[in-house]
Each structure stands twice: as structure tokens, then as C-alpha cells.
């Protein structure tokens, strides 16, 4: 492996000028975005999933009421609970018509139209979340001359929630009222309240808390029970005063939201003229009890905060809708991808039972670029010497400082040539080896890779097809002990290899890995050799070959063993370089998107696949994790866990099939669930870092992986 190379053509720069710029701003930005998303989800969960949808008049268990003053339980429906409790009665012969739970985009306008035709004014007790969703309807209510009262923000039962939430429910509703209408109100009706004599101790405590904030509580004396939807006749009968109460004043409860209110609208159309004929007059609550100005102009601060709150809530609703669709799309794409790679793998396996053509027996040149590879270079070279195919071995020492070339020279193995050069980078080392090679077929591998004895021979067989320009082999993780090793082993077998089978069939292979790849010398010459313009020279080269019209295939039976990073830090550095280099190669070859032939296949199939599944979906991964936490808190935890287990099962099934194809024991798959909590997060953070680095235009230098000397020559090659 090599340490560094230039990303742009031209004269060499001072290494101090090429130091990696570490853009920290993106992590702050990511943290802010995650916090904003988390807060948005909390708001959404509070406003939507803590919303109590039970009807106001639904029967509830009656709690103790000994602390409710008799002056309140036997008094009028309008209550001042501050200091010494007082109540007010509705004027005789007056109906204070009230509507709860709105505004509703369907039923509130219909009710307003009925009231307008009959020249009746009413009081609407509104819910904060409904106001935020439909502020224009609340403005119309006020414009028509009706009164507005607070009915909490999420239709919460104030007697069952702590004081802090009682205050929050009232304050937030008052803010959105101010934002929507420019006015405030002193009227409040608790959800699930009814008449004075039904007050409990807990509800009385909530009323006193509200009174401390300047609210008057409005209860009911007459319930239409329209929430039951018993039929228009029953609603009209329930709303008509009876007996000795016929001459008294009443606060009549109806609803303009909370479900289908067609019966309420029809009943109101009949009720207004009927009660008018009986001598009743209709008024707002304020007029019915003689209140002075229950609604007043809001301060500029309150109105501004209310508008901001409405805008924030509407943004959250839009954001949640967008995220929901994105999650549906990502889930569907994941399932489609799983099906596609499995189907492709089955077909690919059947195709590989057929011979490529006449056996390829011509000798090949094997090029090993090496920079400070003394820990593993001996195992690499010995494994190549043990190959069952005639080869020449060219080790290009790219300015090593640890005696790598000396180690190779000391072996004294036949057929091994050493080229020493000043450090110029891996592409330069490969090109130097290519220039010194003698054969039309070339194999390239890293200096930390061990080949199986038949790897070269199997890797070269596809070249019996003259259309094949490059062949990808099967890279295996050698140091697969420990969780990190197992996770990388799973990724190589399930991720990389299944994808390569799909790419092979789709004729859009984007990468022949540097660890094991075969090339036709003619193809390399036509694309100008190995380019040094990206950090992923293997991906860049493969894309260039595809665009030049060569077919690139995958031969899974040609196996090579490589050392994987043994620490999270080393893994980060390796994957950061891979991902960033892949982005560079994708950008370099973006012209393939609009081309035809094999170049177009690479562009629209290969680049599209990489963009979707290796860039965009990983960028969405933090959203998925935060949304999963949201679901556990506010949605059905069993459903969320079930979905997670379903996707995990899908990965396990894919893993079992991929391991079977590769002839691997599936024991490592027990660590797959744990992989979701550490490894997956690391991988999407790598993508985020790489995308940001690319967008910021920062220069990334080569980050050499630490060598552990864990590789050895396979037993069959010893």
C-alpha cells in the first residue's frame, strides 16, 4: 500500500501545502440537524400522538369532589376560581351557544354558514393543534363576530396531567390564537368537563391553576350530545331546554370538530329557528353573562410568537410527511435491492458453472505495489510463487523506509523481480510495474494480500472471451476474529460480493478491487494506465475500462486473503479514503450518465446504484435512527421492534445465502444484530464525512492502514 499521491496533475506541491483540511463545521451542522429533527419529532409526538381523541361527553369515572366549593358546584356555568370563587349565570331566556374541538376544515365553515344565515353569534372553544393546522378558519370565526375560548392545545384532560403541562396546554393555545387572530381570550373550557356539579377535586385544582393565569372557566348546563351522533331529532331534543329550566339561561354544548359533524350541522339548522320561536335569544358567552371584553388585542410580541409557533408546527407537519415518505421509499428500495441481489446471485451462480471458453494457459505478469509492507510482504510473495499458473512477479517498492524490498530480495525466490523507486504513489508504482511487465495479461494485488494457489489461474480464465477487459476476484478477510473482524467479514461476503454478482450481470461493474484484479494489457494501454486523479485508483480504472467498451466480470472462485483494519480508527481511515475516492471517481465519470453503449450502462446502472445505495440512503440513516427512537416513545413500540426485526431477518436471509455461495460457515452471522448498533453508524458517518469533504473541496491525503502481520501462506501453498 502507498502513503500519498497527488489528486491533480501538475507540479509537485510542498507536502505542508497538502495537509488534510479537517472541516469540523459539518459535524456541528449534523448535530444541529439531528437536534432539530429530534425536537421536531418530540413536537410531532406531543401534538399528534398525545392528542386525546375521546369525546368530551364520554362517560368517565367520577373522582372525589369534596374540595370543590359549594358556591361553585351549585353556581353558574362561568367560574372565576381566583381568590374567592365566584360564578355567573346566563341571562334568563338566553342561550350561550358554544362549539368545542375545532376549528375543522370541513365542518366549522358549514356551521359558520348556518350561524350567518340566522344572524347568530356563538363561542368557539378551540384546540391549539387544530388552530395551527387551520389558522385561516379561526380568523374567519373572529371576523364573523364570534368569540373564541381556549380548549387546550392537545385536548388534554387537565385534571389528569401535572400542573406544568396544564400551563403548557393553555399558554401554547393562547399563543396560536394570538398568532392567528391578533387577539387573546380570557375564556377557557377544559376538555371532558360538563356541569358544575360534576367537578372533581383534580379538575378544581386545574381550574384554580388556570385562574392564576387570568382565565375564566366556562362549563355547560345543556348538552346536545351530538358527539354520540344519535340522529338529528335526538340532538335537537337534547338541545332544547325542558321543564322548569325552560325560562332560565343556558350554555349549550355542541361540536364543530372531532369527527363527522353532519348531524350537528343539520340539527343546528333546525334548532336555531325552533328556539327563536320559543322566545330564546342567542348570544356569545361574554354577552350572555355580561362580561366586559373577554377578547382583547394581543401584544405584538404574543402575536409574533404565535405566528412563529404556527409556522413551526406546520413545518414540523410537512417535515414529518416528507420523512415518512422517505422512510417508505428507503424501506421499499431496501427490499427491492435484497430481492434483486439474491435473484442476480442465483443466476450468476448458474452461469459460472459454464466454462468461459478454451482454457487460458498463457503466462501472466503479477504486479505488487508496496510501501512499508515488510510485515506481510513475505507471505504475499510466497503465496504468488506457489501459484499453479505460470507468472512473473514484479514487486515495485515505492520508496519504503522499512526495508520492504530487502525482505523480498532476501527470500531469493525464483521469478521475482524488484523495482525500487522514490515514493510517487500507488498509481505510479502500478504503472512502473506495468511498463516492466512482459505478458499481455496482468494481475494486480496489494502488498498485504495472500493469493490461494489457484487464484491466478482462475482469475485469468474469463480472458478467453476477447470482450473481457478486467476481472474482479473474491477478497476474503483473513483476521476475522473479534466483533470488528466478523462485521467486516460479513460486509465483504454479503455486501461486496453480492453486489459484484449483480454488477456483473448488469454489465456495470464499478470496481475491480486492488486486492485481486486481472487486466488485459491492451485495455490498460487504451485508457492510459492507472490514473492518479482520485484516491480510489481501482474504481477510477474500472470505470474507465467500462466506458472504453470493455466488459468487466466477477470470478468469485479466484480468492485472495487480506488484512482488515483491527480498530475503529483504522477502519474509519480506510473507509473514509474508499468512500471519498469513490465519490471522486463517480464525479470524474459522470458523463457516462448521458452516453450510450457500455458507458451508458455504467452511468445509469452502476453510478445510479452507487449514488442511491452507497451515498443517499446512508445519508438518510441518521433520520431512520432518530425516527425509530421516536416510534418507540410515541408510536407502538411492538410495531417498531417488529419492523426492525423484519429488516434484520431480511439481512440474515441474505447473509445465509451469500455465505452459502461463498462456501463460508454462517457462524459469524450471530453478530449481525450487534452490527446495526455500531458498524452501521460508523459507515454512514464515513459517508457524511466524505460527502462534506467533497462538497467543501478539501484535499484528502492517503491514509495508510496499519499492518499486523497476521497473513500467512495458505496450507495448500506451503
The residues annotated as belonging to the active site are 100, 255
Identify the three-state secondary structure at position 212: coil
Q: Of 445, 475, 460, 428, give the one whose Cα is nearest residue 384.
A: 445
Pairing of strands 216-218, 78-80: antiparallel
Residues 458, 76: Cα–Cα separation, whole Å: 95
Q: Is the dihedral of CA 89, 92, 93, 94 positive or negative?
A: negative
8 Å CB contact between 632 and 653: no
8 Å CB contact between 509 and 500: yes
**What is the number of alpha carbons within 13 Å of residue 429 lying toward its C-beta?**
33
Pairing of strands 295-297, 183-185: antiparallel
Residues 646, 388: Cα–Cα separation, whole Å: 46
Residues 537, 526: Cα–Cα separation, whole Å: 16
Please give the full DSSP string across 347-389, using - where no structure is assigned: HHHHHTTS--SS---S-EEEEEEESS-TTTHHHHHHHHHT-SS
Map grid coordinates 451542522 to a residue: 29
Residues 70, 586: Cα–Cα separation, whole Å: 79
Residues 49, 192: Cα–Cα separation, whole Å: 18
Residues 198, 65: Cα–Cα separation, whole Å: 8
Residue partners of 13: CB distance under 8 A and separation at least 6: 6
- What would the grid cell of residue 285 be? 358567552
Amino acid at each position: 500500500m502507498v502513503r500519498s499521491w497527488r489528486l491533480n496533475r501538475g507540479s509537485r506541491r510542498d507536502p505542508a501545502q497538502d495537509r488534510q483540511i479537517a472541516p469540523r463545521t459539518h459535524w456541528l451542522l449534523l448535530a444541529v440537524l439531528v437536534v432539530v429533527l429530534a425536537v421536531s419529532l418530540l413536537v410531532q409526538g406531543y401534538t399528534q400522538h398525545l392528542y386525546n381523541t375521546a369525546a368530551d361527553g364520554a362517560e368517565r369515572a367520577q373522582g372525589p369532589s369534596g374540595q370543590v366549593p359549594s358556591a361553585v358546584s351549585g353556581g353558574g356555568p362561568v367560574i372565576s376560581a381566583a381568590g374567592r370563587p365566584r360564578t355567573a349565570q346566563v341571562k334568563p331566556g338566553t342561550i350561550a351557544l358554544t362549539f368545542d374541538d375545532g376549528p375543522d376544515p370541513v365542518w366549522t365553515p358549514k356551521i359558520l354558514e348556518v350561524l350567518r344565515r340566522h344572524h347568530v353569534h356563538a363561542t368557539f372553544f378551540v384546540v391549539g393543534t387544530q388552530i395551527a393546522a387551520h389558522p385561516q378558519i379561526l380568523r374567519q370565526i373572529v371576523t364573523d363576530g364570534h368569540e373564541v375560548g381556549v380548549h387546550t392545545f392537545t385536548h388534554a384532560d387537565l385534571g389528569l396531567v401535572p400542573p406544568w403541562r396544564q400551563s403548557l396546554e393553555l399558554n401554547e393555545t393562547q399563543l396560536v390564537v394570538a398568532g392567528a387572530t391578533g387577539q387573546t381570550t380570557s375564556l377557557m373550557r377544559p376538555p371532558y368537563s360538563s356541569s358544575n356539579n360534576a367537578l372533581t377535586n383534580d379538575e378544581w385544582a386545574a381550574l384554580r391553576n388556570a385562574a392564576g393565569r387570568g382565565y375564566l372557566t366556562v362549563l355547560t348546563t345543556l348538552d346536545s350530545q351530538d358527539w354520540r351522533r344519535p340522529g338529528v331529532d335526538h340532538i335537537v331534543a337534547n338541545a332544547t331546554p325542558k321543564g322548569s329550566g325552560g325560562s332560565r339561561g343556558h350554555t349549550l354544548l355542541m361540536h364543530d370538530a372531532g369527527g363527522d359533524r353532519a348531524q350537528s350541522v343539520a340539527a343546528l339548522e333546525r334548532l336555531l329557528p325552533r328556539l327563536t320561536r320559543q322566545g330564546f335569544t342567542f348570544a356569545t358567552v361574554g354577552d350572555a353573562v355580561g362580561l366586559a371584553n373577554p377578547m382583547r388585542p394581543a401584544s405584538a410580541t404574543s402575536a409574533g410568537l404565535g405566528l412563529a409557533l404556527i409556522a413551526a408546527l406546520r413545518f414540523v407537519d410537512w417535515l414529518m410527511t416528507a420523512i415518512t415518505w422517505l422512510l417508505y421509499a428507503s424501506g421499499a428500495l431496501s427490499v427491492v435491492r435484497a430481492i434483486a441481489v439474491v435473484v442476480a446471485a442465483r443466476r450468476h451462480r448458474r452461469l459460472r458453472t459454464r466454462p468461459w471458453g478454451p482454457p487460458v494457459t498463457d503466462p501472466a505478469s503479477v504486479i505488487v505495489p508496496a510501501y512499508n509492507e515488510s510485515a506481510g510482504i513475505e507471505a504475499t510473495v510466497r503465496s504468488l510463487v506457489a501459484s499453479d499458473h505460470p507468472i512473473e512477479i514484479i514487486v515495485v517498492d515505492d520508496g519504503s523506509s522499512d526495508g520492504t524490498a530487502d525482505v523480498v530480495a532476501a527470500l531469493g525466490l525464483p521469478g521475482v523481480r524488484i523495482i525500487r523507486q522514490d515514493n510517487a504513489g500507488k498509481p505510479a508504482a502500478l504503472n512502473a510495474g506495468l511498463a516492466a511487465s512482459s505478458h499481455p495479461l496482468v494481475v494486480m494485488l496489494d502488498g498485504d494480500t495472500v493469493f490461494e494457489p489457484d487464484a491466478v489461474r482462475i482469475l485469468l480464465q474469463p480472458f478467453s472471451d476477447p470482450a473481457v477487459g478486467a476481472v474482479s476476484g473474491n477478497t476474503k478477510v483473513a483476521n476475522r476474529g473479534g466483533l470488528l473482524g466478523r462485521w467486516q467479514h460479513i460486509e465483504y461476503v454479503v455486501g461486496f460480493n453480492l453486489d459484484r454478482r449483480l454488477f456483473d450481470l448488469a454489465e456495470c461493474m464499478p470496481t475491480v478491487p486492488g486486492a485481486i484484479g486481472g487486466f488485459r494489457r491492451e485495455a490498460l494501454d487504451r485508457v492510459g494506465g492507472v490514473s492518479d486523479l482520485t484516491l480510489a485508483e481501482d474504481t477510477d480504472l474500472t470505470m474507465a475500462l467500462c466506458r472504453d467498451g470493455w466488459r468487466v466480470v466477477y470470478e468469485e472462485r479466484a480468492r485472495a486473503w487480506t488484512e482488515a483494519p483491527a480498530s475503529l480508527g483504522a477502519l474509519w481511515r480506510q473507509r473514509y479514503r474508499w468512500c471519498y475516492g469513490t465519490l471522486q471517481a463517480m464525479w470524474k465519470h459522470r458523463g457516462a450518465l448521458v452516453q450510450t453503449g457500455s458507458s451508458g450502462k455504467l452511468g445509469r446502472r452502476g453510478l445510479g446504484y452507487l449514488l442511491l445505495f452507497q451515498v443517499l440512503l446512508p445519508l438518510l440513516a441518521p433520520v431512520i435512527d432518530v425516527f425509530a427512537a421516536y416510534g418507540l416513545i410515541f408510536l407502538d413500540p411492538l410495531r417498531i421492534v417488529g419492523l426492525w426485526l423484519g429488516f434484520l431477518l431480511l439481512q440474515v436471509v441474505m447473509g445465509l445465502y451469500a455465505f452459502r455461495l461463498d462456501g463460508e460457515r454462517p457462524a459469524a452471522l450471530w453478530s449481525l444484530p450487534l452490527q446495526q448498533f455500531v458498524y452501521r453508524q460508523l459507515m454512514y458517518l464515513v459517508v457524511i464525512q466524505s460527502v462534506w469533504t467533497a462538497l467543501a473541496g478539501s484535499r484528502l491525503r492517503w491514509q495508510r492502514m496499519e499492518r499486523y502481520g497476521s497473513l500467512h501462506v495458505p496450507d495448500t501453498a506451503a
